[in-house]
Amino acid sequence: MSVEYYILFGILFLYALLLSFPILGFAKSEFVKNDSDSLNEPISIIICARNEEKNIPRCLKTILHQQYDLSKLQIILIDDASTDSTVNYAQAILKVSGINYKIIQNKKQLGKKRSILQALQLAEYELIITRDADTYTLSDEWLYTISDFYTKHKCDMIIGPVAISQNSGALWALQAIENDILNVLSCGMAKLKKPFLCSGANLIFTKTAFKKAGSYQSHLAITSGDDVLFLEDLKKTGAKISYLKSNKAVVYTYPCPNIKSLFLQKIRWANKFSSNKNYYNNLLAFVTLLTNISVLFCILNAFLVAQNATFGLIFIGIKLVIDNLLLFLASRFLKTKGLTMYILPVALVYPVYVLLISLLSIFIKPNWK
């Protein structure tokens, strides 16, 4: 066997080793069950929006329809200089709801972090939930599940699960598979007391913990990172951080409708991860990139030299087994349907997708929406 084959298998071994930790952590974690007699904690929900007139009604209505004491809720909507009717739609819904709410309208675009900082100054309660305006819930026990978990564990941060809404098509499948696997990684590493992934679309924390972590000041100049960079700051304070593994706690977001919007989203995320000093995160990202480049090498090598096809099939087959194990674990949790037929096509396209995003993120610095 030539030297390049040993190198490729070395990369694949590192890939399997790094993913074995979150897989074991996820397997060790238990599904959260609610107590029927738990108190409703007072909660301030912060929703960031920019040009979300199509999505804000469903976001707000699924919050207002929760099985929860709405007198213990505060909704703060920050509109970051929208050019559509986001505020008008939100105002119409909230005004007749009877809920305690505030709407902040930025005249010029400030970005998500500064918008959240504005909202936190108006937050009346210690427990905070951040949501994006393009998210919604299917369970009417989303809030109760969060409140019950917080009452039991008194965490400084609770990482809430985020799923891609059920849909169809190859572009949706690519996003859903990637997102489902990321939830396994997030849950698994949090179980091992090494959290490194979270999403501001469903993030729960206390105001006290936020202040101890520096209130975004260490990374305020970076466009994104209101979630993972905040998480890294919070870990330095010795905070208690948990992942809420419950189907009832899932928040759903819509898939990007086209390739352009998907790439801009992923480039934005790549920029925040490039500012992340988490050792495991950076090593996993680097090894994942190398593994996907190796898949491309195996495919190209098989076309150029037919007798090398066997090695390529073995390499890709082993990677598929690892990735499918992650997806299997995720499917038991998030219940995403219709992904099986897309597993192989996504596996073949994904290396090109990862490589393109890695290259484009060097040159493109997108704004928040």
Show me where the domains of the chain are located.
3-25+278-363, 30-258
Backbone φ and ψ for 201, nearest 5 degrees, come out as -75, -15
Pairwise CA distance, residues 163 & 290, whole Å: 27
CATH of domain 30-258: 3.90.550.10
**Which pTM was predicted?**
0.94
CA distance 209 to 151: 16
The residue count of the chain comes to 369
Q: CA–CA separation, 288 vs 147, rounded Å?
A: 36
Read off the tokens for 189.
């590493």
What is the CA angle 228-229-233, rounded to 5? 115
Neighbours of 40 (CB within 10 A): 18
Q: Going edge to edge, which strands form the sheet with 162-164?
A: 135-137, 251-253, 162-164
Sign of the dihedral through C-alpha 66, 130, 44, 116: negative
Q: Give me the tens of pLDDT residue by residue for the chain, a chain 369 residues long.
A: 578 889 999 999 999 999 999 999 999 999 999 987 888 999 999 999 999 999 999 999 999 999 999 999 999 999 999 999 999 999 999 999 999 999 999 999 999 999 999 999 999 999 999 999 999 999 999 999 999 999 999 999 999 999 999 999 999 999 999 999 999 999 999 999 999 999 999 999 999 999 999 999 999 988 778 999 999 999 999 999 999 999 999 999 999 999 999 999 898 887 766 677 788 989 999 999 999 999 999 999 888 887 789 999 999 999 999 999 999 999 999 999 999 899 999 998 999 999 999 898 887 776 656
